Structure 1
């Protein structure tokens, strides 16, 4: 028989195994080719108009995506070769050399790769337009995207998958040459260490794993504390090492030990559900510990990165408002022309005026005693004050008396990293005027332009009108500003108002400092600031979401493929159970428990990892945690649930076919 006929017969015989491997290849090609095609779509980049730095980030993402694809395909190929180990052993028994077997399997892999690349590129070509529309939607851009075929994307994809094919062939040849004939007939079970004895040492090591994870979680909550920031990199490495190491120890020792205790408590009275759930999990923990740890870490990392990016994108409006607390902010003498233009065009608006007087103060006096080592604790700077009557335009119920004051305009990462305490005194001065203010409340209300508060988030003191009048007498020594906040009454007037804002020069601010130097600033409107945030963050959230999806599909598929392999290995056990009288529903109850563990435990631990990772520094990315975190987690849970349902469905088919 010729080699070509042998290849065709082998592929026909292994069709039920090939579809799994073929799907992995098609999925990988589709994902990569659609991403690269989008990268070379000139219409998209012309509509997006993103900087070169962002484009470089997009290209860097293709390398990360290729690493994901490489890992996915190599694992699928390893699993495929493991399932065909007996067949390879039979080839050797009938006299075929290892070199001939390698040639046979190499031809099969080449045919599979060529077919998968063709199908995957077709699917990727059509799906790239969908991803392009999603990107434009995220960036709030209006553009017509056509389905343009990119020869650059084609050449790059062919090159990288040709390299991947070579790596796969090397992996396959190495697997065949390194094993003996006898081991091929038991290769499907070699990775599973049968744990027959459980010692107290295992319990101690498993408990140590829980302690390591707990310490990693605790250290993450203290990551950005004042005393920890000096060794931030070391702290992050320690958290990473303890969390990953603890996860492996938990999977390797804790779970098997706990399940063995559950089994012993039953005193030999095991139900069929126990046999199909507790026992297989307990006896597969060595090989499963490595894969489950990897899957858990990948899940936590991808979910954490996706969540942080979404937090930044979701908070774009709040971040814009902290910079521009109104539709338009006018400072000093640049407001009159814009206001007159609004009235001439019959654009209805509301205006709120704020008077600001700078004072010298040490905000560290409002910090706790634990933050004494913080440089801000003794640093003196200029902080603006506004009169109570102006503040009541924003908060009508506010009231003050005597030396009482409200600290507002203080939020974001500053409030998280450097929390201030109310019911404390702070000394302020303006020239010869010195006074002690009693802070009765701390609020986050954004009132003043970020240009004045040095980028937004800087505190503002609200004082009584009488106190403010005293401070105003020192205006020649400390900064004095007037701000007018314009709020449009009709959203339909926004486009016209934006145009007038620039035509009248109201977006150009000229400020003279204490030394008489003139500084010119560009003051964006709220809508301009919001769109700028979206444009700068939109590509980031798209790339991270795409890579997060790739990570998730990879980990979910690995779990699914692994369960398919285990189902085939356990087929004979199901046949025996069916023959001695157990119904399909009885067997499936144990399988449900097993799948709940195999998919649920890595997901739950991965969610916990990502939660504490995100919780440690989310405030550096935005102003809202709960909604983005829950949305990202729900998406991951839903996709894992889909893989779990597919796995249960495959088990159900195996159980039905076992009799």
Structure 2
């Protein structure tokens, strides 16, 4: 029997143990292959205007994905090697040469990689139509997605992943040469270093996380940000949060479990004493891993929540900046007639006159767009805004982008010209004119407006403003084709499409990268807990002999897994909630609904790994008890 045949038999025999590892690798390959396929997709290049930008984003996402997947595969490979060191030692004890054992492990790893690669490419091709449809839909296009197959994508995927699998195979080959026989036999007993929980270190961990949260929730205009600076403060937040998270797992969680252990009434029910004792060991032993999972979960939820929040709010954001369907510099009569034929009946279609006017505020020149009271009220009536009335040297400010943290207050602001002073009496947080063609707007009385317009130096501007709720993307393209470049067209449908395209691509990439990260973190905990199950078999057999029911053991297993799975997730969600609160405050945008939806989706998928782990763990213990004939 050849070494390759033995390797094949080993893979087939241990397939159930390898299944989640293979599934995670296949999923990663499917996503990578999809990203690369979309980069070379003829449909995207032909139908989508920003195809070059999409190609660049897909390349960047593929690089991030391959970097993460490489680390994940190396980690999983190290896990399986550790699990099989005793088997390797037995081969050596039976007289099999080191070189032969090394080649057998090399072939096994290569075979697993080749099977995963083949399955990933086939599934990736079959799923390409669906994934391409999702991307096109997210980008706001109504285009039929074909099956996408690209030899360039296949070669790219094969080369990248074969390099990774060759490296991991060499890693397996070297195992037999790296350790003594006695070390290989006792490898499964070695874990991460365990230290006693320290209440002082636990308090420091809570303080550091609290400090990170406090700094993150401060306005960027606060004294702390000004003292530390805009580069140092984010670094302090990251440092405090990451170190604090590690200390939470290192000591705080252990301290809380020890405190629970002192509650005798609670402790001596079911198998809680066993559950707490095992958790004390596991949380401390895997502090580094649990910290990485919490930080990775926080990063994934924050990035995904932010992108989904922006995508969710595209419509309101664009309408805030472009309240009118079209706005452009008025053209000749022939061009206007062509435009009118395209837009047809509208809610509003007329020329709006404005003045570009410089004022002085605190010795600094500031440019504003002046709009007369009557013109404002006509347009405001159609846009369903409040009417306003100004007198004499009064100004009424309109500014959708205004943020009191970064801009001078409009309250009682006095703006000056060479001859006169004007006082801002109030402010509205919206625009009436499209922001691409107008500065922050000041509404003045008709008399004052006429005075400014009569000046020789007046910079009068005539814009055609069209409000058409039924406008389509096709109409917007026709309007853009007719108008010359100097018309400076501002088109709400075009801006909406551009935003949907860019955010749709980011959401697509972020969602699938997030799924890969989620699959990886779930797999890591799964492998960790099944390793623990392997070591705990004898304990559960003994408990069964003592008369403990399988139901009680299942509750104990579920309880341990709840802590190992959901404490890192809970901390990750808390970190991301603070980060997203700071992000929403910075953008003055309400992200509660999209962020909650994103967190719920992440938690539900994560919970599937928990259910699978509890099921596999319980099954392993049950089979052991049955095998022992108890």
Q: What interval of TM-score do these two structures reach, taking the shorter chain for normalisation? A: 0.7 to 0.9
| Structure 1 residue aligned with 2:467 | 487
Q: Does 1:596 align with 2:569?
A: no
| Structure 2 residue aligned with 1:427 | 414
C-alpha spacing 1:542/1:488, structure 2 compared with 1 (3 Å): same
Answer with 133-142 or 169-178: which moved more. Answer: 169-178
Aligned residues between the structures? 618
C-alpha spacing 1:530/1:644, structure 2 compared with 1 (3 Å): same
CA distance in 1, matches of 2:40, 2:482: 40
Note if contact 1:309-1:621 (Cα within 8 Å) is conserved in structure 2.
Answer: no
Note if contact 2:109-2:172 (Cα within 8 Å) is conserved in structure 1.
Answer: no
Q: Does 1:380 align with 2:361?
A: no
C-alpha spacing 1:335/1:135, structure 2 compared with 1 (3 Å): farther
How far residue 291 of structure 1 moved from its aligned partner, in angstroms, is: 0.9
How far residue 5 of structure 1 moved from its aligned partner, in angstroms, is: 5.3
| Structure 1 residue aligned with 2:517 | 551
C-alpha spacing 1:421/1:175, structure 2 compared with 1 (3 Å): farther
3-state SS of 1:437 partner: strand
Q: Which of 435, 438, 442 is the equivalent residue of 1:461?
A: 442
Question: What value does the CA root-mean-square deviation take over the aligned residues?
Answer: 3.2
- Where structure 1 has 5 or more consecutive residues not aligned to the other structure, the ranges are 364-376, 509-519
CA distance in 2, matches of 1:360, 1:10: 80
How far residue 158 of structure 1 moved from its aligned partner, in angstroms, is: 1.7
For 1:306-343, what per-residue CA distance to the aligned partner results, in whole angstroms no more than 9, with x for missing partners? 23333333333334324432112244566895368537
Q: Which of 392, 396, 403 is the equivalent residue of 2:386?
A: 396
CA distance in 2, matches of 1:51, 1:435: 49
Answer with 81-90 or 477-486: which moved more. Answer: 477-486
Note if contact 2:39-2:54 (Cα within 8 Å) is conserved in structure 1.
Answer: no
Moved over 6 A (4+): 619-622
C-alpha spacing 1:9/1:55, structure 2 compared with 1 (3 Å): closer
TM-score (norm 1): 0.84
For 1:210-252, what per-residue CA distance to the aligned partner results, in whole angstroms no more than 9, with x for missing partners? 2111211222233733763793222222222221111111111
CA distance in 2, matches of 1:34, 1:176: 37
Note if contact 1:352-1:485 (Cα within 8 Å) is conserved in structure 2.
Answer: yes
CA distance in 1, matches of 2:479, 2:267: 80
1:130-279 equivalence runs, <5 A? 130-195=130-195, 197-198=196-197, 202-222=198-218, 224-225=220-221, 228=225, 231-266=229-264, 269-279=267-277
CA distance in 2, matches of 1:335, 1:116: 65
CA distance in 2, matches of 1:165, 1:403: 75
How far residue 381 of structure 1 moved from its aligned partner, in angstroms, is: 0.4
- Where structure 2 has 5 or more consecutive residues not aligned to the other structure, the ranges are 626-630
How far residue 273 of structure 1 moved from its aligned partner, in angstroms, is: 3.8
How far residue 163 of structure 1 moved from its aligned partner, in angstroms, is: 0.9
3-state SS of 1:386 partner: strand
Note if contact 1:215-1:242 (Cα within 8 Å) is conserved in structure 2.
Answer: yes
3-state SS of 1:232 partner: coil
CA distance in 2, matches of 1:27, 1:193: 32
1:614-653 equivalence runs, <5 A? 614-618=580-584, 623-653=589-619
How far residue 66 of structure 1 moved from its aligned partner, in angstroms, is: 0.8
How far residue 131 of structure 1 moved from its aligned partner, in angstroms, is: 1.4
TM-score (norm 2): 0.88
Q: Which of 501, 505, 510 is the equivalent residue of 2:479?
A: 501
3-state SS of 2:286 partner: helix
CA distance in 1, matches of 2:588, 2:177: 54
How far residue 420 of structure 1 moved from its aligned partner, in angstroms, is: 5.4
How far residue 188 of structure 1 moved from its aligned partner, in angstroms, is: 2.1
C-alpha spacing 1:247/1:503, structure 2 compared with 1 (3 Å): closer
CA distance in 2, matches of 1:496, 1:138: 18
